[in-house]
Structures are given as C-alpha cells and as structure tokens.
Amino acid sequence: MTKAEFESAVREHQGMVYSIACNYFHNAAIAEEIAQDVFLQLYESHLSVETGTHCVAWLRRSTVHRCIDTLRRSSFRNEIQVDLMPEIPVDVPETDPFLQERLRRLIASLPETPRAVLVLRFGEDMDAEEIGRILQMPVRTVWSHLQRATALIREKASRYLKEKEDEPVRTRSS
Amino acid sequence: MSQFERDLRESLRRHQPPAGFAEQVIARARAREKRAAPMPLRWLAAAALVVLMIGGVVFVREQRRQAEAERNKQQLIVALQITSSKLNRIQGRLSAIQQRIDELRLEERQ
C-alpha cells in the first residue's frame, strides 16, 4: 500500500472504523484510540490492497478484534450474562432518543462476542456469513449470539419502557 | 424488519470521528516512518560495534597465544642449552676416564 493509498483509505473509511469501535464501547475516547491504532496497523502491515472490498474487510476484522482484545484486557467489564437471560419476546413501542441511548448502553454492556456480532449486524449491515468469517466462527454460532443478544436487549429495553410508562402513574399516586 | 431492529440500526448508526482525525492518523503514520528510518543505521552501528568487539577479543587472544608460544620456545632453548652443556661435561669426563684406562693398560703391558 502506497502512502497515497493509505491516506485515501483513512479518509474514506475513518467513519466505518470509528463507528464500529464507538458502537462497541459507547465511548468516543476509546473509539478514537482504537481507530487510530487500526489505521497505524494498516500502515505498518504494508498490506497489498488489491481491491477496496479487501481493504474494508481487513479494516472491519482488525477493528473488531482490537475491540475484543481491548475489552478482554480492560479491568472494567460491565457485562450482562446473556446465557442466563430468558428470551422474552416483547413488542417495543415507538422509539425515542432516550430509548436509543438506552439501547446503546445495553449493547455496550454485552459480553465481547455477542456485542461484536450485534455491532456488525446492525451497525455495519453485514450478514451472518460475513460476520462468521470476521469472527472466525460458524454461521450457526453467529445466529445463536444474534438471537440471544437481541432477545436480551429487547427484554431490557422493554423493562425500561415499562418503567417509563409507570413513572407518571407513580408520580400521580404519590 | 421489526420496529425493534430499526431501533437497533438507528442506535448503531454511523458516527463521524472528531474533526482532524484523518490528519492526525496520517501525521502519526509519517512520524512513525521518520522514527523508523534511522533504524538500519542504528543496526549497522550496533553490528559494527559487535564485530569490533569480537575482533578485539580474537586479536588479544591471538597476541596472548603468540607471547605464550615465544616464552615456551625460549624456555625450551634454555633447557636444551643446559642439557647440551651437561652432556659436554659428561663427555669430557668420559673421555678423561677412557684416557686414564688406556694409560693404565699401556703401563701393564710395559
């Protein structure tokens, strides 16, 4: 990869790399640090980028793995145990900014692998096969992570909405 | 697509990095390259130093070995000289004894 190609790749894909890290950690400072490291790794890898798709795939894979490694190394892990949570299908009513924020926080509190699956699926609009290739896992495992993580987020979000609905009632009663 | 999936997509939408992010990354990459450039020179200097040190050690060892050989040679020469002088002395005595024996035999015949 020449200097010009590298600079072009940074300008073109900075949003993608930064977004994956930002959605993964829900933390702008960590996201910026990870995105910078990923691009520097790209520069030092002397990757021969034959196509733009190749570069995008490399950046996605590196970013996700760096996010997972960073989370594993960090002492702060505010995780929800996905396996212990029941799958409760609840219809979530119309969205609001608070719900969006709540969803982001919930996603950022998932364990490393389901979190990565969710970020790639809904943030990067990737299918299970692509996600499986990036995370080096079978497609069935990707689906399993996706279903359980979605169910968990849905359940937590609905609990939040229910609390919100109850709030005025409690206020009135008190 | 359900409303919930739409919410997830919306909450995981693209974010833009802070202004100047790309320039910062490019500057860091250039700085790393500059730092990395003198590396071969440093390696060369280190390699030269190692070669010099090894060469010095070999040279000193060779000098010591030659000095030791010279000392041994001198000692051998001295030892041979001593042996030679002793042998000469013994040879002289033996000659004197032989001469005396010859004289005594001659006296007996007379």
Residue A57 burial by CB count (10 A; 0-12/13-18/19+): exposed, middle or buried? middle
Query: Do A149 and A109 form a contact (C-beta atoms < 8 A)?
Result: no
* d(CA B52, nearest CA chain A) in Å: 33
A11–B17 C-beta distance less than 8 A: no
Determine the residue of chain B that is closest to A101 in CA distance.
Answer: B11
Domains located in chain A, CATH noted = 1-76 (1.10.1740.10), 95-168 (1.10.10.10)
B17–A18 C-beta distance less than 8 A: yes
Which residues, 6+ apart, have CB-to-CB distance to A19 below 8 Å? A123, A124, B12, B13, B14, B15
CA dihedral A126, A134, A99, A83 (to 10 degrees): 120
- Would you state the structure tokens that stand for residue A88, as one six-digit string? 């409760």
**CA atoms of A66 and A61, how far apart (whole Å):** 8
* pTM of the complete model: 0.63
B18–A154 C-beta distance less than 8 A: no
A94 CB neighbours in chain B (<8 A) are 3
Query: Do A139 and B44 form a contact (C-beta atoms < 8 A)?
Result: no
**Complex-level ipTM:** 0.71
Q: What is the block-wise mean pLDDT of chain A (174 residues), using blocks of 10 residues?
A: 85 93 90 93 76 84 93 65 42 63 87 92 92 93 93 83 62 42
A99–B15 C-beta distance less than 8 A: no
Of B3, B16, B24, the CB nearest to A92: B3
A100–B15 C-beta distance less than 8 A: no
pLDDT digits over B78-100, tens only? 999 999 999 999 999 999 999 99
**CA atoms of A112 and A24, how far apart (whole Å):** 9
A31–B7 C-beta distance less than 8 A: no
B9 CB neighbours in chain A (<8 A) are 122-123, 125
